[in-house]
Every structure is written in structure tokens, then in C-alpha cells.
Structure 1
Amino acid sequence: MLGFKRFKSLASLALSVSLAVAGLSAALPAGKSYAEGASATTVAAAASVNVQADIQAAIGYVNANGGVSSDWLAFSFARAGQAVPADYAAKLAAGVETEWAKASPDPTALARFALVANAVGLDARSIGGHDLIAKLASYPSFANVYADIFVLLALDSGNYELPAGTAWTRGNLIAAIVSGIDGSTVPDLYGMALSALGKYKDRPEVAAAADKAVAWLAANLGGDNSEAIAQTIVGLAAYGIDPADAKFAKDGSNLVQRLLAFKNTDGGFKHQLSDAASDKAFATEQALRALAAYGLFGTSHRSVYVNAASQWVATGVAIEGLNGPLAALSATQAVYAWDALVEIADRNKLKLGYTDDPQYGKFLSAIGDAKGDQSVYWLYAVKRGGAYAPIDASLEKFRLQAGDELYLYLSGSDSGLVKSVTAKAAAGGATAVNVQYTYYDSSFKEVTGPAAGVQVAIGGQTATTDANGTATFKGLSAGELAYTVTGYRAGAAPLVLKYSGTVAVGAGQAGGESFADAADIATWASDAVSEAYAAGWLQGVSTTELRFAPKQQLTRVQFAALILRLLGETPAAGAKQSFADVAPGVWYFDAVMTAKSKGLIGGVTATSFKPNEAISRQDLAVVLARAFKLDGTGSKTSFSDQGQISGYALASVRAVYDKGLLKGTSGTAFDPKAKVTREMAAVIASNLLKQGLISK
């Protein structure tokens, strides 16, 4: 949830809503999606100069004068939304082959090939059989700051990870670029540097260097050649600064207008104002790149050097109003949350109202007819893996992951998000369902507490929670039951965003008796443990009391038995012994042999299984990927400790993570060698059920 603190501190942004609004538009029924073409007029663009006609004119000039004859022209065509010639991919591969054959390929040229490859929808790791990213990573360092800039742009164009053992890091490149901004009279360098640093503007050293570059450009950028102006526009747009800002104006013309002054009647651009003829190779190409960059800035604030298509994910988009859902849609071409919103707005012809604050980013004020005021405003939330993801960025900076669900909702000062829903036995055979939610108090401190006065619908019944956040139900059947929590209120924003999920009712309580070690079960695993026990996937560990041992590590043999249960497979008897340490007659012999015969598990050696050794997170991921046919070979998900993930397991780890079966441990770390506990296994089983990969 984007903190209320940010909104409260920006009262002047006054996010508006009319409490009488009943929906977005009569033409948009909830749950429907339409296929009309996108319209750039549906979103209020930040760019203040319309350059579409100039882009088309420049494309026409290029086509009339030999067409796409260079890599950079192909790049600019693609980023301007124009198809490149059908034979360009072959020409690109040939260019890569020529450079590759040199004794010392130029890293700047390789980076250029990578940038162009991404722009035209290719993978820079496989051009003519060559991996450009791996080749760049093989260099010990680079000769100058221009090479540093282009290599960093190439890496970020497709969000490529560096191979293990690379002698340098992105941080080294950033440091070199920052040091190059030293006040020298090099305007094209400053523009290019801003292009590369835009992704890292939150770093203090980057912000300081960028401020220096921007101040220099505002004070000193002349108008003697079009290329310097074009590079500045590209850099400012990539960094998130409007090139049409008045600080860059000269003689009453902003930076974009100053570039357009170099345009000839034939649609091309010239190098200097005094030149008569247009220059295709440099002036026109760089002008077209700048105009494309400015157009992208106006619609998405995305750098011209990043091809979003290579990073698109699909996400559901739900829009919640004051009295109920307004729309349930889906986006398929999103990288950031803002992309998803713009996509569904364009497709459904919804006008978006928003404020673009230079410090805090985009703030919604209206979606269609639903607007706000100072007491009720638009916020957004993202559900990931069944829980709300932490959000500390504005819409255009929050990066989505596959399977995310994006929620746009109307909120008030006391509104919040559901944190947990649990069920336990109550007196008289009833079931008590408790709802906790997270909100911000009057001092803007995040607080978790009972959601009092919200409605809980479960098992065909609906009840309102009391002051402790508890609603009581009678006659609920035991098992995993679906529920919905809503917090709609007359004349006010909902107390909570509508939330749906499943909860184990009567499960794991043995007729009202809780696990003896229930206090040891982590809150995030409690429902899953109850569900796994009720379903028979995992059993207790004691014959004298109901004990689960949630922190006990899961052994390799226990997981072999578990995976068969989850698949609904029965261990087959009479198998031939395959491992010396798994002998006939032990309770797990049939399970291990059956799992091996089905290709689900293997030994640690050809003859050893090590049945009582705890299974690691990465080895569990490998088995899950095999069992449920999950393929992560094309995934670009990365982890901060990726170097610790064994090569044989990386694709499987990515696959189960992307599917939402196994989360990271903290931040972006996966902790591949950590051992799996019984409560972790219960959560994984629950996630498999939620994803429809297993049934009870």
C-alpha cells in the first residue's frame, strides 16, 4: 500500500472523488474487456509538444532516401513504433558476426548491437548464435566513459543479469559515468550519461551528478547543432525530466521546439541551422531517436533504450469504487503498474486524470467518471502470492511480476488493506473468523489491528466483525472455505479493500483441539498448516498428542512421500532397489522407488539417496518443476544471491518463484541452500492448490 504519509504531505495534490459516483462509465460493465485500438488521447500526456507528425515526417524522409541503412536507424524506427525491414534481423546477425571475428571486438559496437536487438524484439543473448551480454561481461574493464554508458544501457535494455565471475558490476559502470560528469564542455556526454543513469536516480551520488549535468545543460546548451540537442532530449526523458521544461528554453523556445527548428521541408533534419540539406545518417537519426524518446516520456516515462515488450507481464487489474467493484480487467503488456493502468484505460476508452509530481511521481485523481476530493482519494495495491506486496514507489516506478494482481481503489484516511484472515473453533461449535488489517494512524505510522465493522462472507453466510475484528458463524463445514471481506460504508470510503481468499475451517483443530505446538507455527504458515493437515498431505509427529513440529526440517524421503501425495500417486510395491541406503522393508522404500521411477527425484550419487538429509530450497524447486512441468528457462527473474544457486537448479527456482509456489526469503534473495521446514512445505502445498496444480 502506498503510504498515506506521502499523500497527506501533498495536500495540494487534492486527489478528488465525488461520493455520488456509481461507476466508471455506463459503457464499461465489470469483468468485461474490449479490443478497440489504443488511443493516445485517453491519457493526459506529460509532454507538452505534439511530435507525432514530425516523427512520421522523419520516417518518410528516411524511407525516401534509401530506407533503414544503419543499426541506429533501425533502433530509432523501432522505438518510434515503426516496423523495420524484414531482412534487418539477418543484417544485424551479419554485423555481429563481422565484429565477433575481430581479434578484439569493440565493446561499444557489441553494446550497440544489444540495444538494437532489444529494440526490434530480439534477445541480445542469442544473435547469430552469439551471446552479446556474455561477451561484454568477459571484458575486464572498458576504455572510456562512452563505453561504460553504452554497456550499462545494453544491460538494462533487457534487464540482463551478469554471469557469475564478471570482473565488474553495474555499480562500477555507474561510478565511472558519475565521475565523467565533471563540468567539462561535453553536452552530448551529459545527455548520454543521463540516459544511462535514469534507472539509478535514487542513489545519492547519481542524483548529485545528474543535478550537476542538468544545471550545466540548462545554462550552457547552445543551439549550434541538432545532435547535441537531440542527445539532451533523450537523456532528460530517460531520467524522467520533461525536455520541454522552461529551464531549457532559449529565446522563447523549449528544447523540443529548438530541435524542430532543424527540420527541413523534406522531413529530415540538418546538422546546423545554416545547412541547406538534411543529414540522414546522424542528424535525422538522432532527431528521430529524440522525438521517439519524448513521445515515450509523455505516455510512460520509460527510457527509449528499454524495450518493454521483452519484459512484459500479464496482470489482472481490478478497480474498486466506494460501494463495490467498478471493473475487473486484465493487462498483458505491462512492466510497471502505470503501464497496466494505461493499457486498460486505452483499450476501454477511459480517461485518466492524474498529477505528475516531480518528487513523488504520478498520483491518480480520476479513472473515467470516478473522481476524488481531499477526503477520498485513489490509491493502488498489488497482491503477489496471495498477500499484498510492500509498495514504496509511485505507479510508474512499481515493477510488476508475473501473476501480480493490481488494485486501484478509493481510500479514506482510516482505510487499509487486509493483513490476515484466520479461523478457529469457538464456543457452541461455532467458528470465529478474525480479520486483521494494516492502516496508517494519525501520526502516519503503519499499524496492524483488528478490522472492526467489516463484512465477512463465507460458506453462504455473511456476518460483520466486532471490535476485535471477529465474526462468528455457526454450521460451517470443515475444510478449506472461500471467503470475501468487504468494508463498504455509506457516505465514506471502504474501511478495507475487498479481499478474497480461502481459510481452513475446523482443520488442524481435531474437533476444536489445537496443535500442542500451535504457538510455534509462524503466522504466515498457520492457515496452510491447518489445510495440509486436514487434507492429509502432512501428518502430526506424535502418537500421544496433536503436534506438528513446524520448524522441523523436511527430509529428502519425507518430501518424496509428500510429492506423491500431492500428485495423488500411490507408492507401488515390489520395486527393485536403486539406492544402497534405501533398503526394502523401510517405510519409505516404495515411495522413494516410485518417485524415482516417475523421474521426480534422483540420488545424490548413482547409488546413494541420503534419505534423512534435509532437503534444500533449490532441490525442492527442482522436484516441483519436474512434478508439475514448470519451465523457467525463459524467465528473467533474478535474485540478489543468484550466484549461490546451482546451475542445475536455476531454471527450476525461477519457475517455482514465478508461479508463486516458493517465495524469496528477504528482499530479492532466494537462499537456495537453506533447508525446507515442515511449515514451509505446508505453504508450498497450499500454493499448489491455489494455482490449480493439485486438488484435495
Structure 2
Amino acid sequence: MNGEALSSVRGKLKVWLRSGLALALALQLVLGAWAGVVQAADSAGSTAADNGKSEAAAPTREQVGKAVTDLQAILGKADPVSDWVAFGLARSGISAAGRYLPQANKSADDGSLRLVTDFARVALAVNANGGDARKVGTGGKVDLLSKIVNFEKIAAQGANAPAYALIALDAAGYVPGTTDRWTRDDLVKWLVDHRNTDGGWSLAAGKSDVDITAIVLTALAPYKDRKEVTGIIDEALVWLSGVQLETAGFGKPTESSESSVQVLIALTSLGLDPIKDSRFVKNGKSTLARLLEYRQSDGQFSHLASGKADGIATFYALLGLTAVERWMDGLPGLYSGVATASKTSVTVNGLSGVITTGSATGKTALEALINVLNSANIAYGVDRHPQFGALLKSIAGVDNGKFGGYDGWQYAVKRDGAWVTITEGMGSFVLKAGDELTVYYGGGDTTLVHSVKIEPSAPREGQPVTVTVEKESFDWDSGKAVVSAAEGASVTVDGQVAKTDKDGKAQLKSLKVGAYVLSVDGYRTDAAPAYVAWKTKLDVASYSKKVTVRVEGDAGVVASGSAQGGTALEALEQLLKASEVKNEIKDSAYGKYIGSIAGIAAGKYGGYDGWMFAVVRGGAWIIPAEGVGTFLLEDGDEVVVYYSGDATKLADPISVSPAQPKPGQDVTVTVTNRLWDWKNNQFEAAKPVAGVKVSMGEVEAVTNDKGQATLKGSPEGLYQLQVTGYVKDGAPALVRSVSTLQIAGSYSDQSAISAWALDSVTTSRAATILRGSGDGLSVFKPKQGVSRAEFVSALARALGLKGSASSAFADIPSNAWYAKDVGAAVSAGLVGGVSAGKFAPDAALTREQAAILLTRALKLKATATTVVADAKQVSPSAAASVQAVLQQGWMTAYESKFAPKASLSREQAAVIAVRVFAASK
């Protein structure tokens, strides 16, 4: 290269680095341009005759590839497959693991491996085919690498054994043990110390041998930069060049193709050009060109130049040509080994989309990429820079410089969730387990996507999605990554496309339930992409919760009841639709809001009055910091939508004293409110609410300045306790609050009721669901078995069924206390008689019979199996019902037993009846 050209390239490189362009781009593109300048200079200084001779001595990548493909087809049929054939096939891209690894295990078990070269050869083949050389044989008990490093007489085979030992250890990434007999340093030193005076090596001291010298050079290649190794490699290459024949081949006394193979493996392992290195070109012909002259018409190779096809020469040719092919592709040497720990995920992005994805092993980024491209049959091109090594030139027909600038193929690596700072080319970047490699076509302004945030993080059906994209660039002056908003990126999901704004945000409309791929890219028609494409999974779930909704207007309740929905707005709209209440929901820049309900419009009183909402969850208020259209509900929530003014308050849970009043006993109600502190995001201390009305049935009172009101005693029953703060010609002072208060007396055998059933028995008495024996109020008899009439009557009352006494059963008097309840249950199809005209009202009810009645009444079905220890005792006709009531919590097992044939006690019946009553409200 002339001085002017070199100065120009260096100047451009300096400008690019200062402008923040990744060094990977500089290496990939600038040095690619540099290579072009070198080639131009070389061409200018050569004669036409020299050029013709050079072309004749330079087999192309296509020629080498075709020869390798033919050899794969020939040797791939071998059965059994030998160690070296299995190794060669695997390193050329065709795994023989299925056939070879069982064979290797057998060799390790039967004792046929005795020499160091045996262990090394099998270790290389096992590693190349994805196995573990440290775990071979039955149960993985044979450690081939340990056999090598602890082989006492490792030098008994001459230089051959230490060389192959070193090659095998390096290929498998052997981690030294503290008690190893031989270390890598020991092996390197032995080889250095035992070379011949002529500069080469042989099996025995004396005259050097081409094959052995080449094998040792291959073994020493990873150590070529060591001070004690560099010089002897240079001297060995001089000797090797000196013994090369005029035919460009090797071998004494007779030239053979195998010797040329060993030299090619050595040269490529050392990173030397097997085609153009002048030391190994004779009469305009390279060693590679000479090896191809041994190729027969059927693709096999001969041992001698004038000989016939030979099996050994053929598999040796596969090794040599694979080594050259890997060198041409910028890959590590033939014996560089396979990273067996894990595969690297690879994504290749083109000018308008993903070209291919896959996973592959590879010690370098370039090796993993090429393995994936080869698997997908995608064409690629690699140039080798004389100083900086392999540079990716093209993929799928797209060459560097397509847009006339310094645009071209680049790469990025994500490790542990973050982009790695790249300071070298793909051909030398060493991958680690778990790395994610992205290869992309980029230009000077192409930027990596740092992060993509989806809000909400778990979107549900019908919910808008906000995507925030950040980009990442590298500041070479500070040496730090710079993260900022990615403006102008395209965000795509399910056909929707949105561009990010200056804050890196893009808004997507709501999506239906399903699994999607969300992509971010910066593809352009007239330039390299602005952003490296990025993809992630996006799952949109169905989201609907069972809640209650209460709509409180400015003068009374508008609607209330059960509803389902994912957001507060969805639940509200469902209730209003079911209640046929007109409403208006409006859109704004801040989301949806309630304009009017039942003709009550926001701003009715001329101020900032309007519709608000809050949620009761777990007995406590939630004051949402978001709109009614986005607030997500949970099962059991109570959504309170209320008309509010500036001073409208939400009441705390109402305090009643005594907590469980007796019939005729006065009740004191305390009403308080806690204001929400928006600054500190918490409730303030509770304060009394004065001047609001408290009512219970016909009894009412107004709270004093302590927030208290006393209500006169009422008869036994279940009451609705209501607090209101309606204001004439204005928004309410307090949102209506409603709770249930039960007033009930005691049974004479109250102390016999189990603690777990006491509240239910009291509620059942107050609500007139299941009362004392004979429907009286004196004695409850909690442990007594409930009768059929009592349980059916309790179910009918809990469900609110009404009817008249049935004349279908002769054993039910029309004036019996349970007659109308049984009649209502029969009319609803919940129960029938035990035989024609007979109901058996006084018969004790078993637990499995109760389960059957419950499943009929509530239309229950089991969706899973609950295991109980006494499942075999359950009648077949009751099995499904027992499973349903257990799974859904209507009845419970005790110590893993359901006791299906046991009588259902009256206190157990009360608990079940109250559960039904609560669910039916």
C-alpha cells in the first residue's frame, strides 16, 4: 500500500471512532476497504504473466467446497465409521454422533485403546461430534483426557504422541488437575527440546519427516506467540519449504497426498495462507492446488499422484480440505475444538427483515454464524485481511457497501442481558455460554436497541399497550455505553405499526387474547437500518374478574349488583347494560372517563363535581391513581362509582357497638373518614364525620361532632345498616355506605356449638335460614344430624326460593313449618322424593347426599380431582358431586377424609347454608 492510501484509511478510521461508530464497524468495513487497496496495489505491481500464474495456483472457495461435499457423500456412507472419518465429517459440518459415539464408548470399554495417540484420536472425534472426552464408555466412567495427562511414557512414540496429546487437550479445553503427570507446558517444552538440528521433527532423532513436522507445527500453533516457540516455528517452516517438491507436493522417498494434507493443516492452524504464501508455492502452484490433482473423477483421492482411489488418502483429503475451507471462512483451525457446553443463538438481520435464526456451537462469533448459515443453505462470503484476519463480506447476496458508503455487515453480542463492547472482528471474538449473537447490515448511524419496556408488563385483552424503546451507543471518549430514547423506531405487533416519538414511546391499540411477536426495527428503503432489529414475545391474556359494582348518584343509589370485567370500567359498563341504565363514557388525552350515568352529568352543580370511582379490596379502600378504564380488578373487589364534589368523603368501615347486639339493644354507630394524601401516597389519620344520616330499617339518627349516632334497639333479624350524606342542590357530603348488621339471640345450648360454626349459626338464626330444632329459637342441637326437611328448607331459604306446600308427598303435612320450603325446592328441581309419594322429611342426611343436593342447587361441576383417603367409600352416584363440593370449597374434608356415609350435623349444615346465602346475594 502506498503512503497516501494508508494515510487516507487511517484518517477515516480516526474520524469514525471519534464520531462514536463501534470499533467492530471500523474493523469490519475500514479494514475491508484497506484490503481492497492492498489488492489494487499488488495488482498494479504485478505483470500480466504473474497474474495468470497466480490465478492458476489459486483454487477457489467454490472448488474446495465442492470437493468437500463430494467427500462427505462418499465417507458419510462408511459403516462402521472410523475415528478419523467421524472427526472429519463433524468438522466439515456433518455430524456422525449417532453412529460414532456408541462406537467410541465401546472402544473405551473393551480396552482397545492403549497408546497416547489412541486416547487423543478418540478424544478428538468424540469432542467434534458433541460428546465429552472426559466422560466416555459405559456410564461415562472413562476420562480420555486424564488418561493422556497421566500417561507415564508419553514420549515412547516419539514426537507424534506429545503432539497429538497437546492437540487433544486444547481441542477439548482441558482444565489441568493438580496431580497431572503432564501439563501443556511440559508437552510444549518436550516438543521444543526434541526437534532435529535441521529444524524439523521425526519419530526418532535424526532426519526430519514432513508429516511429523507438520503435526508438531499444528500442535504448537496455539503457542506460536510464546518467545520460546516463535523462532522454532519459523525455522521449521523454512525446513518444510525447503523440502517441498517442484510439483508443490511433499513426501520422501515418494510424494503422497497425505503429506500435503498434513502441511495444509499446519499452515491453516498457524493462520498462514495455504494458497498465496510464497514459501509454499512452487512453479506457480500451491500445496492446495497440488492436493486437488490427486482427486479422482468420482471425488475420491489417491495416495500417489498416478495411483488409484485410496480409502486412507480419501479421508485424509477430507481433513486437509476441511482445514482449508475453514481457513477461507475465517474459522479457527481444524483441531480448534468444539464448544460443547452450550450453543449460541444466532439471528441474522438483513435490509428489511430476518434472514435466518438458529443455534450452533462455535468458538468464535464467525464460526457460530457460518454454522447457522450453512444449516440454512444461505450463501455468504468472507475475505481474509493479511493483517487483521477474516472479514465478513456478504450474506444472501448482499455485499458490503451497498449504499455507497461505509455500510456493511456488522455484529453484536448480548451477554447476561447486556450488549458487550466489541473491539475485534468476528473471526477472533470468543463466545461464552449463553451468548446471543446478532449479525446485521448496518451503517454509520445504525444503533443497537438497549431495552424495550411494555406497559402494562402483562397486557390483557382489550387493553392499550405503551412500548418504550431505548437505544444504546458507545462513547469512545468516555469508554461508556450511552443510553437514550430511540426516536423513529418502528414497533410492530399483529399488523399494527407505530413509530416511537422523541421520548421513545409508541402507542398500540388493544389486542385480542393470544401470543404475539413484538418487533422493533429501523428499516429504511434507501439506507442501512437505523436500528438493529429486536424481537420479543408478547402474551395477551384473557382477564376478567368477578366483582360487585355500586353506582351512587347525587340523591340515591342508581344501580348495584354483581358484574365481571378486567377493568373497573368494563365491570361498570356490564352492570349498567344489565340494569338498562343509560350512560356516556368519553375519551380524553388521559384516557376514558364517565360523562354521565342515568342522566346525571358531570358539572351538574356548576363546579368540579362529577363521577369518581374507588375500590374496596380486602375491606379497605383503594384510591386509584389511574383512570377507570385502566384500573385492573381482582376477584371479590367492590367497585364504587359515585357522584362527587370537592368535599365528598368516603366513609371508613362502619364501627358498631356492641359488635353483636341482642334483640332490643341500642346500637351506637361511629362514622369516620380518612383523607388520601396524594403527596405521600397514603391515608391520613381517621377523623369523625358529623351531620350524616345513619339508618337501619325504620330507625334512623344523625351523627354528632364525634361522628356517632345511636339507634334504638330492634327485633332479631338481619339488617342493612346505611350511612348517607345527601345534600340538597349539591353533591353528597359522604358517599352512601352500606353494611350488614345481624341482631340475634342465643340458644340454650349455645356453648355446645363449635367455635368454627358459631358465626354461621348466629347468621343463620338472624337471617332465618336454619334455626333451632323445629325451626324454633330455644335449642339448636348442633351435633345432631340434620334431617332432609331441615337441609332442603335451609337451601331454599338461602337461595331465596318461594313456593307453596306440595301435595306430592303424603308424609309432608301441609301445615309443617318446612312444607312451603320443600315445595319451592321441588318446583325448582333441586330435590325429589325417596319413592313415589314419599319424601322422608325426618330421615338423617348423609354427607354425600348433602353433596348431591348442593351440586343440583348450585349447578356445580368438578374440573379437577381432590384426593381423599376414603374415596372408595363414596357411592359411585355421588362421586362427581363430592369432588365438585370439595374442589370449590362448599364442603371440606377433615384429616384427608370426607366421611361420605356419616350424618351431616346441624352446625355443619348451618355453615354450608350461610355460604350459599352469601354467594346468592
What's the TM-score, normalizing by structure 2? 0.40
Distance change >3 Å, CA 494–CA 120, structure 1 → 2: closer
Q: Deviations over 1:572-609 (max 9, x none)?
A: xxxxxxxxxxxxxxxxxxxxxxxxxxxxxxxxxxxxxx
Distance between the aligned counterparts of 2:284 and 2:124, measured in 1?
A: 35
Q: Deviations over 1:492-521 (max 9, x none)?
A: 434442446799xxxxxxxxxxxxxxxxxx
Where in structure 2 are the equivalents of 1:443-482 lying within 5 Å?
448=482, 450=484, 453-455=487-489, 464=500, 466=502
Distance change >3 Å, CA 448–CA 130, structure 1 → 2: same
Give SS of 2:199's match. coil
Equivalent residue number for residue 448 of structure 2: 417
| 2:132 aligned with 1:131 | no
* Root-mean-square deviation (Å): 5.4
Distance between the aligned counterparts of 2:224 and 2:82, measured in 1?
A: 31
| 2:222 aligned with 1:191 | no
Q: Deviations over 1:120-145 (max 9, x none)?
A: 66543313542212222335794364
Distance between the aligned counterparts of 1:232 and 1:131, measured in 2?
A: 30
Equivalent residue number for residue 270 of structure 2: 239
Q: Which of residues 493, 503, 528 is equivalent to 1:493?
A: 528
Distance between the aligned counterparts of 2:344 and 2:102, measured in 1?
A: 27
**In structure 2, what residue type is equivalent to 1:138?**
N
Equivalent residue number for residue 330 of structure 1: 358
Distance change >3 Å, CA 495–CA 135, structure 1 → 2: same
Equivalent residue number for residue 367 of structure 1: 395
**In structure 1, what residue type is equivalent to 2:412?**
A
Distance between the aligned counterparts of 2:271 and 2:282, measured in 1?
A: 21
What 5-or-longer segments of structure 2 have no aligned partner?
Answer: 1-21, 38-59, 202-209, 456-465, 511-516, 539-679, 682-921
**In structure 1, what residue type is equivalent to 2:302?**
F
Q: Which of residues 61, 67, 80 is equivalent to 1:51?
A: 67
Where in structure 2 are the equivalents of 1:289-688 lying within 5 Å?
289-298=319-328, 301-305=331-335, 308=338, 310=340, 313=343, 315-321=345-351, 324-327=352-355, 329-332=357-360, 336-373=364-401, 374-401=405-432, 403-419=434-450, 435=470, 437-439=472-474, 448=482, 450=484, 453-455=487-489, 464=500, 466=502, 486-487=521-522, 491-499=526-534
Contact 2:75 2:85 in 1 (8 A): no
Distance change >3 Å, CA 208–CA 379, structure 1 → 2: farther
Distance change >3 Å, CA 345–CA 470, structure 1 → 2: closer
Structure number, greater radius of gyration: 2
Equivalent residue number for residue 4 of structure 1: 25
**In structure 1, what residue type is equivalent to 2:136?**
S
Equivalent residue number for residue 250 of structure 1: 282
Contact 1:191 1:232 in 2 (8 A): yes
Contact 1:489 1:495 in 2 (8 A): yes
Q: Deviations over 1:653-685 (max 9, x none)?
A: xxxxxxxxxxxxxxxxxxxxxxxxxxxxxxxxx
Q: CA deviation at 1:255?
A: 0.6
Q: Percent identity?
A: 26
**In structure 1, what residue type is equivalent to 2:291?**
L
**In structure 2, what residue type is equivalent to 1:126?**
V
Distance between the aligned counterparts of 1:116 and 1:319, measured in 2?
A: 34
Equivalent residue number for residue 303 of structure 2: 270
Contact 1:456 1:465 in 2 (8 A): no
Q: CA deviation at 1:168?
A: 4.9
Distance change >3 Å, CA 204–CA 350, structure 1 → 2: farther
**In structure 2, what residue type is equivalent to 1:93?**
K
**In structure 1, what residue type is equivalent to 2:218?**
S
Q: CA deviation at 1:358?
A: 3.5
Give SS of 1:356's match. strand
| 2:168 aligned with 1:161 | no
Q: Which of residues 76, 81, 93 is equivalent to 2:106?
A: 93
Distance between the aligned counterparts of 1:209 and 1:408, measured in 2?
A: 39
Aligned residues: 456
Distance between the aligned counterparts of 1:457 and 1:84, measured in 2?
A: 43
Distance between the aligned counterparts of 1:444 and 1:201, measured in 2?
A: 35
Give SS of 1:439's match. strand
Distance change >3 Å, CA 139–CA 461, structure 1 → 2: same
Distance between the aligned counterparts of 1:147 and 1:388, measured in 2?
A: 43
Q: Which of residues 119, 122, 136 is equivalent to 1:113?
A: 122
Equivalent residue number for residue 642 of structure 1: none
Where in structure 2 are the equivalents of 1:207-246 lying within 5 Å?
210-222=233-245, 223-225=250-252, 226=256, 227-245=258-276
Distance between the aligned counterparts of 2:123 and 2:371, measured in 1?
A: 27
Where in structure 2 are the equivalents of 1:276-295 lying within 5 Å?
286-295=316-325
Distance between the aligned counterparts of 2:275 and 2:483, measured in 1?
A: 47
* Highest RCO, 1 vs 2 (Cα 8 Å, sep ≥ 6): 1
Give SS of 2:369's match. helix
Contact 1:133 1:162 in 2 (8 A): no
Q: CA deviation at 1:354?
A: 3.5
Distance between the aligned counterparts of 2:63 and 2:121, measured in 1?
A: 27
What's the TM-score, normalizing by structure 1? 0.52
Q: Deviations over 1:502-555 (max 9, x none)?
A: 99xxxxxxxxxxxxxxxxxxxxxxxxxxxxxxxxxxxxxxxxx99xxxxxxxxx
